[in-house]
Amino acid sequence: MDNTERSHKIEQLSVAARLNDLAVYMHDGQPVRLQKILSVLEKIDPGVYLVGTGPYTQGVFSLMCDEVVIGRLATVLERPLDKPVDILVNDAATLTPREVSRVHCAIYRQEGVLSHDYWIIDRASTCGTYLNEQHLETPTSETIDETRRVSRSLSDGDVISLGPSLINTFVFVDLRK
């Protein structure tokens, strides 16, 4: 088998797997899916979380630390970065990335008046970070003033999208109350 045949086989299996996954996901129906999500939300401890809602972001991720960096691993065509990423998104549907940068964005907390406040900042991602479908500005420097200027505060129910397509999405969930 040559590389052209291999690439066709890999592509065909990739498409079939995504269609089969969608069919299995849709099979339960909305009431069953809603009940499963409700069961998860009722089970997790009080705290602050990102709940992944996209096909490549699925999961519940605790934000109970000072900063969480969201990004992806390098593909075989890229040089690895020497930067830590806390939440990995694998949007490499064709073995190459589509929208998620290796260091895409960060969520950080700062001491607020009554509790910690959570903020999001784009980390010079290629396709952008969106908060409730609004494109976040990328900082032009790493100064405190610039970080404050471009960061946006997060509230319960906010939707974060890595890129404009709304494929790689998270919901900010605040269960501290």
What tens digit of pLDDT does each residue of 47-57 get?
Answer: 999 999 998 99
Instruction: Give the number of domains in the chain.
Output: 2
Do residues 88 and 124 both lie within one domain? yes
- Name the average pLDDT for the chain: 92
DSSP class of residue 138 equals P
Do residues 6 and 90 both lie within one domain? no
Do residues 38 and 70 both lie within one domain? no
Q: Which of 106, 76, 108, 102 lies closest to 89 in space, CA to CA?
A: 102
Band the pLDDT of 114: cuts 50, 70, 90. Answer: low
State how far the Cα of 29 lies from the Cα of 166, in Å rounded to an integer.
21
Give mean pLDDT, residues 172-176: 95
Do residues 25 and 53 both lie within one domain? no
CATH number at residue 152: 2.60.200.20
What tens digit of pLDDT does each residue of 68-107 get?
Answer: 999 998 888 898 888 889 999 988 877 888 899 999 999 9
Q: Please determine, for residue 18, whether its predicted confidence score (pLDDT) is greater than 70.
A: yes
* Burial status of residue 149 (CB atoms within 10 A of its CB: 0-12, 13-18, 19 or more): exposed
Distance of CA 84 to the CA centre of its chain: 15
Alpha carbons within 13 angstroms on the beta-carbon side of residue 154 total 27
Question: 25 with 19: CB under 8 angstroms?
Answer: no
